[in-house]
Amino acid sequence: MKDASPQTIHLKDYTPFGFEAESVELTFRLAPTATRVLSKIRFLPKEGGDGRFFLHGEDLTLISARIDGAPVTPRLVEGGLEAQVPAEPFIWEAEVEISPATNTALEGLYMSPLAREGEAPGPGAMYCTQCEAEGFRKITFYPDRPDVMSVFTVRIEGDAPVMLSNGNPVERGDGFAVWHDPWRKPAYLFALVAGDLRAHPGSFTTMSGKEVALNIWVRPGPDEDKCAFGMEALKRSMTWDEEVYGREYDLDVFNIVAVDDFNMGAMENKGLNVFNSSCVLASPETSTDMNFERIEAIIAHEYFHNWTGNRITCRDWFQLCLKEGLTVFRDAQFTADMRSAPVKRISDVIALRARQFREDNGPLAHPVRPESFVEINNFYTATVYEKGAELIGMLKTLVGDAAYAKALDLYFERHDGDAATIEDWLKVFEDVTGRDLAQFKRWYAQAGTPRLSVTEDFKDGTYTLHFKQETPPTPGQPHKAPFVIPIAVGLLNPNGDEVVPTRVLEMTQAEQSFSFDGLPSKPVPSILRDFSAPVILERASDNTERAFLLAHDTDPFNKWEAGRALAKDVLCRMVSEGATPDGAYLDAALAVLRDDGLDPAFRALALRLPSEDDIAQTLFGAGITPDPVEIHTARETLSQALAQHAADTLPRIYAAMTVEGPYRPEAEDAGKRDLQGTVLGLLSRIDGGAQAAAQYDAAGNMTQQLAALSCLLMIDKGEPELARFYEQWKDDRLVIDKWFGMQALQAPPARAAAVTDALTRHPDFDFRNPNRFRATLGSFAANAAGFHAADGAGYRLLADWLIRLDPLNPQTTARMTTSFETWKRYDADRQALIEGELRRILNTDGLSRDTTEMVSRILG
Ligand code: PHE
Ligand code: ZN
């Protein structure tokens, strides 16, 4: 039933389904290789529908079907079935058989841990589902599209001690459980979990006084002690959504399940969130500060989907950013409130540039709302998620906080229960503010990162900024119309005082100037404060001015940005002109390191050098062909120079950042540990790793243990520590993922492919587990100089593994092809090597639709 010839789906072809699904009753008779799924659905023909009754279905064995109780023989067609149906409301019933135990794609109903090939699943294996985006069609025949919403009742039959589905529990008996979800929902939000699970319980009283039972479900054993932080994060999220967005939870129970085999981070199924165990389980001994922060954010993200995604869902998958952009924006606001807003913003911009700008400036560039796709799984991208969130932020900046709040209230009021569109979303803002958002809408339709260049002049007390915007062509979009760009600007006096506080300039033309009057002297501008728009700012500036802004800017983002620009400039000149480490940079960095008035987390961010990939992207943007090995060398050289320059200061800061008392994952402590880890990295370059080895031995938490090990690997030491680490943690798969990951990521470039190849032969390397696959091959591809080794060994290694994984798990394979998306940046030899590997992948017999689409797009 799999598509023979992949079809392109277009936004413009949207047509509603001709029937309403009034209610859905499902019965699951669970068995590893022969689960029976019985469905009973009441359909109502819709006015104006064409009467064509098509249900999606994939990898299903149809046992029987009935309409209004009478057996029928539907026509099996590509991707589903068709049947002759009455013009009146009718009951559709079907029984199908599926095989969860052999489902390695991790879409539809599957079992985790995956059984060894040809063997039965282990006794601890659990049943689990993943339906977004189009996985429900692997469970039963159904109109598997988000605009078909229905009320689900689910009966699960089996011998599992715990059997869960969406909504509220209705009945539990010997060998069965019944769940009912009163909220209409699309099938992609369906979930079922069954297995031997233990609950970490909690409870929450909502703002209107309703009691909600909360549970985090894990397999019996050590995971049971790793739920407390997630539970607290969930409660914080529930409180925050009430306080900030006025959104209350709407069921009696909220369940979270941790599963080891999962393609993504987590999934917002109604009342039954399913999490990749790496995104929910945490303990001080096994999780880093970064893990804690990420877990808190993902729990919030999935919880916030209950309103932005579930109560208001998407009409079709082109509208994916409607729920994802908004929910990412909301979880970022949450993290900013729980922790440090500037630190969160800076970290998000680093990630945006690393993933979204990279995507937007390569062959995979696509609009935040794409207009066509072959496989929707390939569009869960940084553009849809992270750029989607930036668009919400810009909208909020343009209309102001009060209007944003009003618009959101109207959105919830007007569209609760709807499958909505971007047009609906923008309309609430237009209705609340009276603004015309037609030009703003281009942000959703045009791909590519705008270049915003700026020049200035000063005359008779008037300072003028001249802006010019230009967006490069992207696939299928040769010409771009100008965007509306909110440019937050502040002006500083040459003595460092702010003379004009932040003001938002609204640029709507291709070229536009803005003036500031009454200034005593020519100011220093701080442009694009708080990164007010996802653009590349181009300004001829010198390192004196950058150092000035790093020292004086009142906007924390731009303060950091000035340091970043300085470091980038220095590194780019080291690579392209063979320059030596710049003294102005070293002095500025040392001043930040020493400035005890600054938040340690901020100092850590300011001292971190831009990534090798970031430098490669910057060089390429400046018309220079980047050499990954030279970039690596330059970055190492600059770090070494900074270490020497700061040598006298490092021990003091290291000691000062020691956190007393028991480990707490809170931002304040985490920030100190972060700076201490950064300092340890510098120290290791001058003390041969003595301090790092000592920290490794003394570490009482994973943050410090891992930081120490990473420092040792960085200076090509740490062999014994790596072995001890493995011995200590060999029974904890999430920690062992880190063990795989850091070796692949930090292997010296010349050995990286060999080290990674050896890791794939380790008995603990199960390539079918997405976490382990990503930890190993994904980390290797992030080892820029190693992956891009001139002999092409890195490219070959990754291609070999993608070809192997594709038949088992197309979704994760396709996602990881993005390691090749930057290939056009590099020299002809490397391009030829990569192209060879891409063609080898593409020519593989039976290559999945997912991977075929991605590789074809990358090849262009
Ligand atoms: N909707 C999920 C989220 O953003 C992501 C996801 C997509 C998970 C597809 C699984 C499959 O939270
Ligand atoms: Zn999401």
Please report the DSSP string for 790-844 in residue order.
TTSHHHHHHHHHHHHHTTT-HHHHHHHGGGGTTGGGS-HHHHHHHHHHHHHHHTS
Cite the DSSP H helix spans in 276-318: 289-304
Query: Does residue 1 register a pLDDT over 70?
Result: no
Atom of ligand 1 nearest to the CA of 305: 12
When the pLDDT of each residue in the chain is averaged and rounded to a whole number, the result is 97
* Ligand with the closest atom to the CA of 188: 1
Q: Residue 294 half-sphere exposure, CB side, CA atoms within 13 Å? A: 17
Query: Does residue 116 register a pLDDT over 90?
Result: no
Atom of ligand 1 nearest to the CA of 263: 10
Distances (CA, A) of 27 to 20, 161, 193: 21, 17, 13
Span 389-446, pLDDT tens digits: 999 999 999 999 999 999 999 999 999 999 999 999 999 999 999 999 999 999 999 9
Q: What pLDDT does residue 5 have?
A: 63
Sign (positive/negative) of CA torsion 819, 820, 826, 829? positive
- Mean pLDDT for the stretch of residues 325-352: 98
Nearest to 775 by CA among 740, 819, 736: 740
Integer Cα distance of 423 and 441 in angstroms: 9
Q: What pLDDT does residue 415 have?
A: 99
Atom of ligand 1 nearest to the CA of 328: 4
- Token pair of 244, please? 């900030």
Give the mutation target among 106, 112, 132, 269 for probing the ligand 1 site: most ligand atoms within 8 A of CB.
132
- Closest-CA residue, ligand 1 atom 12, reads 267
Query: Does residue 587 register a pLDDT over 80?
Result: yes
CA of 147 to the centre of ligand 2 (A): 18
Is the CB of 166 within 6 Å of ligand 1?
A: no
CA of 369 to the centre of ligand 2 (A): 15
Residue 256 phi/psi, 5-degree rounding, is -125, 135
Q: Please report, to the nearest 10 degrees, the dihedral formed by the alpha carbons of residues 481, 487, 491, 497 taken in order.
A: -160
State the ipTM, two decimals. 0.99
Query: Does residue 197 register a pLDDT over 70?
Result: yes
Q: Are strands 19-29 and 149-157 parallel, antiparallel or unpaired?
A: parallel
Q: Which amino acid is located at 821 in the chain? A: E
Q: Is 735 helix (H, G, I), strand (E, B) or coil?
A: helix
- Mean pLDDT for the stretch of residues 218-240: 98
* Ligand with the closest atom to the CA of 130: 1
Angle between helical axes of 341-351 and 600-607 (0-180°, round to 10): 20
Q: What pLDDT does residue 6 have?
A: 77
- Token pair of 417, please? 């229960």
- Mean pLDDT for the stretch of residues 214-242: 99
- Token pair of 564, please? 């970043």
Give CA 214 to chain center in angstroms: 25
Is the CB of 130 within 6 Å of ligand 1?
A: yes
Q: Residue 217 half-sphere exposure, CB side, CA atoms within 13 Å? A: 25
Q: Is 754 helix (H, G, I), strand (E, B) or coil?
A: helix
Atom of ligand 1 nearest to the CA of 262: 10
- Token pair of 421, please? 């569109």
Span 704-733, pLDDT tens digits: 999 999 999 999 999 999 999 999 999 999
Is the CB of 275 within 6 Å of ligand 1?
A: no
- Token pair of 855, please? 């590789």
Per-chain residues with Cβ under 5 A from ion ligand 2: 324, 327
- Mean pLDDT for the stretch of residues 355-368: 98
CA of 333 to the centre of ligand 2 (A): 14
Cis-peptide into 113, omega within 30 deg = yes
Atom of ligand 1 nearest to the CA of 324: 4
Nearest to 266 by CA among 219, 315, 305: 305
Are 180 and 170 contacting, i.e. CB atoms less than 8 angstroms apart?
A: yes
Nearest to 6 by CA among 807, 843, 849, 839: 849
> Which listed residue (58, 302, 324, 390) is catalytic?
302
Q: What pLDDT does residue 519 have?
A: 97
List of residues 6+ apart from 508 with CB closer than 8 A: 439, 482, 484, 485
CA of 142 to the centre of ligand 1 (A): 20
* Ligand with the closest atom to the CA of 129: 1
Are 599 and 339 contacting, i.e. CB atoms less than 8 angstroms apart?
A: no
Query: Does residue 2 register a pLDDT over 60?
Result: no
Span 8-43, pLDDT tens digits: 999 999 999 999 999 999 999 999 999 999 999 999
CA of 264 to the centre of ligand 1 (A): 6
223-260 in b/e burial notation, b at 16+ Cβ within 10 A? bbebbebbbebbbbbbebbbeebebebbbebbbbbbbb
730-743 in b/e burial notation, b at 16+ Cβ within 10 A? eebbbbbbbbbbbb
Query: Does residue 762 register a pLDDT over 80?
Result: yes
Query: Does residue 585 register a pLDDT over 90?
Result: yes
Active-site residue, 853 included: no
* Ligand with the closest atom to the CA of 265: 1
Q: Is 83 helix (H, G, I), strand (E, B) or coil?
A: strand
Nearest to 847 by CA among 476, 374, 379: 374
Q: What pLDDT does residue 4 have?
A: 47
Angle between helical axes of 320-338 and 422-433 (0-180°, round to 10): 60
Question: Binning pLDDT at 50, 70 and 90, where does residue 48 land?
Answer: confident
Is the CB of 264 within 6 Å of ligand 1?
A: yes
Is the CB of 301 within 6 Å of ligand 1?
A: yes
Q: What pLDDT does residue 3 have?
A: 46
- Closest-CA residue, ligand 1 atom 3, reads 267
Span 660-680, pLDDT tens digits: 999 999 999 999 999 999 999
Is the CB of 331 within 6 Å of ligand 1?
A: no
CA of 191 to the centre of ligand 1 (A): 13
Atom of ligand 1 nearest to the CA of 385: 4
Integer Cα distance of 781 and 769 in angstroms: 18
CA of 392 to the centre of ligand 2 (A): 15
Are 615 and 639 contacting, i.e. CB atoms less than 8 angstroms apart?
A: no
Span 548-575, pLDDT tens digits: 999 999 999 999 999 999 999 999 999 9
Q: Is 624 helix (H, G, I), strand (E, B) or coil?
A: coil
Q: Which amino acid is located at 213 in the chain? A: A
Q: Which amino acid is located at 189 in the chain? A: L
**What's the full length of the chain, in residues?**
860
Locate tokens 């047509």: which residue?
A: 15
Q: Please report, to the nearest 10 degrees, the dihedral formed by the alpha carbons of residues 440, 481, 531, 455 taken in order.
A: -130
Is the CB of 268 within 6 Å of ligand 1?
A: yes
Is the CB of 676 within 6 Å of ligand 1?
A: no
Are 707 and 677 contacting, i.e. CB atoms less than 8 angstroms apart?
A: yes
Is the CB of 302 within 6 Å of ligand 1?
A: yes
Integer Cα distance of 510 and 151 in angstroms: 49
Integer Cα distance of 482 and 527 in angstroms: 19
CA of 324 to the centre of ligand 2 (A): 5
